[in-house]
Amino acid sequence: MNLLKIENIQYSYGKNTPFEKEVLKNISLEVNANDFIGVIGHTGSGKSTLIKICNGLLKPDKGQIFYKGENIWKKGFDLKHLRFKVGVSFQYPEHQLFCETVKKDIAYGLVNKGVPEEEQESKIRQVLKIVGLQESYLEKSPFKLSGGEMRKVALAGTMVLEPEVLILDEPTAGLDPKTTKQVYESLKEYQAKTSSSIIVVSHSMEDISEYATRLIALDDGNILLRGTPAQVFSNTERLNDMSLDVPITTSILSMLAQKNPSVNTNIYRYNDTKAEIIRLLKDVKSIE
Ligand SMILES: Nc1ncnc2c1ncn2[C@@H]1O[C@H](COP(=O)(O)OP(=O)(O)O)[C@@H](O)[C@H]1O
Ligand SMILES: [Mg+2]
């Protein structure tokens, strides 16, 4: 059974005011255990609004949302419980750190959730390991950490609640490539340990294509493309119409394919691209 099912969602801001604006037009999406869904779309396409719809922070004007088959807007549904199960990390989550130690910040949600104190410690240590921070960080002030470390602490604070659906809005915005990789690897590790589903909004086609198993591309409140990264990135023209690019790996292969039709352009991951280029070089050598 799917964890989350979104059916024909419509949402407008500023309802019944002169500023009314429909930002989600007709969105349907199913999220299953172990999915790693990448959400792409230019600024203003509705990505962050969709996330808020997913965990019940915004109520759609039309359409329905089911969590494990239950309509989350039916009377009596426990929305607080849902927000522990569908955990969201918003853009720049480090802005929400406020406790005097890393440990207290990560524990904040656990306390809210009513997790007994004796269980908190081991959960905190586990997530700290997943995000790649040493235990010595627990007593440090979050405000004395680097930007990347702060981001990891914030991420740990969301993961520690063990959401079954973990949603992240631009989790690596502003991070250097090394920290970006560490953050994505920690998401993969979290998923491997919990069989959760992960939804990531990203501007980087390279990052998203490296990690996502499915992609949705939003444009002006509609999902215009969906499928595996290979399927979505085979639509170069449509992506360009949406002001989106294919990953640099795919465009390099497309350029090579203009000279050599045997080049496989249906590749987007870094290592696969590397292997294809090595294959081509070997072919060239064997001709010489
Ligand atoms: N709180 C709000 N009130 C009014 N309009 C909003 C609000 N939040 C977002 N919008 C508008 O809704 C549209 C979609 O925004 P958003 O979901 O943030 O898109 P994205 O995350 O893809 O950039 C944009 O035009 C944005 O200006
Ligand atoms: Mg956004």
**Tens-place pLDDT, residues 52-103:** 999 999 999 999 999 999 999 999 999 999 999 999 999 989 888 989 999 9
Does any ligand 1 atom lie closer than 6 A to the CB of residue 46?
yes
Provide DSSP, 164-182: SEEEEESTTTT--HHHHHH
For 39, 124, 172, 249, the CA distances from 226, given in Å and listed in that order, are 9, 36, 22, 20
283 has a pLDDT exceeding 90: no
CATH 3.40.50.300 domain span(s) along the chain: 4-229
Q: Give, as one character, the DSSP assignment of residue 105.
A: H
Residue with tokens 């921070």: 133
Q: Quick one: which H or E segment has residue 192?
A: helix 177-194
Q: Which amino acid is at 226?
A: R
> Is the distance from CB of 86 to CB of 167 less than 8 angstroms?
yes
pLDDT score, position 285: 73
**Tens-place pLDDT, residues 108-155:** 999 999 999 999 999 999 999 999 999 999 999 999 999 999 999 999
User: Bigger pLDDT: 219 or 268?
Assistant: 219
Residue 165 has a CB neighbour count (10 Å cut-off) of 23
Q: Give, as one character, the DSSP assignment of residue 65.
A: E
193 has a pLDDT exceeding 70: yes
**For residues 39-54, b (16+ Cβ closer than 10 Å) or e, as one string?**
bbbeeebbbbbbbbbb
pLDDT score, position 288: 66
User: Which one of the ligands is nearest to 20 CA?
Assistant: 1
Which residue, by CA, sits nearest to atom 11 of ligand 1?
Answer: 44
Does any ligand 1 atom lie closer than 6 A to the CB of residue 221?
no
Mean per-residue pLDDT for 178-196? 95
Q: Which of 193, 104, 111 is nearest to 153 (CA)?
A: 104
The domain covering 4-229 belongs, at the CATH homologous superfamily level, to: P-loop containing nucleotide triphosphate hydrolases (3.40.50.300)
